[in-house]
Amino acid sequence: MRAPRASTELAEPLPEADRVAGAPHPRDTARLYGQERAEAGFLDAFATGRQHHGWMLTGPRGVGKATLAWRIARFLLATPEVEEDGFFGAPPPPTSLDIPADHPVARRMHSLSESRLFLLRRSWDEDKARMRAVIGVDEVRRLKSFFNFSAADGGRRVAIIDAADEMNPNAANALLKLLEEPPAGATLLMVAHQPSSLLPTIRSRVRELRLGTLDAAQMEAALAQAGTETDAAAALAELSGGSVGEAIRLVNLDGLRAYAQMVELFAGMPRLDRIRALQLAESAGGRAAEGRFDVLLTLFDLFLARLARAGVAGPFATEAAPGEAQLFARLAPNPAAGRLWAQRQQDLGARARHGRAVNLDPAALLMDMVLQVNETAARLAA
């Protein structure tokens, strides 16, 4: 059974569930920045003969978990299984996961035609013309069939599950049975954004590789590789929380300028410029501005979180927008003010979730949130 070939038919004309909009697919990402520790952890296990059948790659969204999974898969399938020679001894252990782009395995993986690789991800719903919301049990059954049919070929076989926390309960139980009795030569690489949502019995049967966030220099290099040139890598690293995927989303939706506009608006509080506030809110109105609405809600929550943290822990080393540090010092001059802003963040976050759930007008919801922030600023000023 050649499940990867079925995926190839969907890869070109249809969206891919495991791809960040505006960025190369993880299988086409040549380098992985900022995750040397995770790579070294896998290489150490490989070199010392402690290669596990199941690996769970964890960390925030967009930091390179899927890229690492593809790098490991490429490495395993392109590296020959070498037995120790009695005269010359064992070859030196590999020091890198790098495989040349012109290697036959790399070329086959690029085109999703590598017969020893299975990619498990959310599939396309032809009836509804959209990606399915979860990975179902049928997909996991196809994974089990892949291992059964490819067993006769021998050698290593790899499955990438992206993302494991998108499986529904039946799919998770089916995967658990596979982990309990792993096929010979099989390696399962599970990308997990929220590993706590997985069954404890799944987590106990895999080894974890934890990936961290990127600093400004690593962010700049990763964005350049993705084809996103910017002179504001430090600000993007701040606003994205060190996530390349989130930074690309912010660039695509003009998030840096939106955050700067937000800081400029709040700089006048508690004397709110209502015209400017209305312009900001109305920029997220209408179906065509759904992406703008999403990013404004994200930035609104982030602004309040940073404001609260600045009050409690002191100023940030890097500003995410001009004037941010001065504004934070005025609105959150002490820990008590920081705690008040933290409570306001929780309240407005709940308000935003409720507003979205009942389909409130985006402009009205944002304007109400701005007024709530202004009211809090007035309380502190008094």
Domain of residue 195, CATH code: 3.40.50.300
Q: Which of 294, 19, 15 is nearest to 131 (CA)?
A: 15
Residues 40 and 186 placed together within one structural domain of the fold:
yes
Which pLDDT score, from 0 to 100, does residue 51 have? 85
User: Over its length of 382 residues, how does the chain's per-residue pLDDT go in tens digits?
Assistant: 344 443 434 344 577 888 888 889 999 998 999 999 999 999 999 998 888 999 999 999 999 999 999 999 999 999 987 665 555 556 788 899 999 999 999 999 999 999 999 999 998 888 888 889 999 999 999 999 999 886 666 789 999 999 999 999 999 999 999 999 998 899 999 999 999 999 999 999 999 999 999 999 999 999 999 999 888 999 999 999 999 999 999 999 999 999 999 999 999 999 999 999 999 999 998 777 888 999 999 999 999 999 999 999 999 999 999 999 999 999 999 999 999 999 999 999 999 999 999 999 999 999 999 999 999 999 999 8
In a domain, residue 95? The reply is yes
Residues 182 and 295 placed together within one structural domain of the fold:
no
Query: For the chain, how many structural domains are there in total?
Result: 2
Residues 191 and 272 placed together within one structural domain of the fold:
no
Q: Output the six-digit token pair for 208.
A: 């974890």
In a domain, residue 216? The reply is no
User: Which residue type occupies 174?
Assistant: A
In a domain, residue 53? The reply is yes
Between 169-180 and 137-150, two packed helices, what is the crossing angle to 10 degrees?
A: 20
Between 290-313 and 335-357, two packed helices, what is the crossing angle to 10 degrees?
A: 160
C-alpha distances out from residue 137 to 105, 119, 311, Å: 29, 14, 48
Residues 174 and 323 placed together within one structural domain of the fold:
no
Which pLDDT score, from 0 to 100, does residue 82 have? 65
In a domain, residue 238? The reply is no
Largest CA distance in the chain: 83
DSSP string, 98-153: ---TTSHHHHHHHTT--TTEEEE-PPEETTTTEE-SSB-HHHHHHHHHHHHHHGGG
From 210, 234, 263, give the residue that closes a domain.
210
Which pLDDT score, from 0 to 100, does residue 255 have? 95
Residue 19 contacts residue 25 (beta carbons within 8 Å) = yes
Q: State the pTM of this model.
A: 0.88
Residues 318 and 206 placed together within one structural domain of the fold:
no
What's the CA gap between 117 and 155, in Å, rounded? 12
Residues 196 and 301 placed together within one structural domain of the fold:
no
In a domain, residue 72? The reply is yes
Q: 346 is in which domain, residue-wise? A: 254-381
Q: Which pairing describes strands 124-125 and 54-58: parallel, antiparallel, or unpaired?
A: unpaired
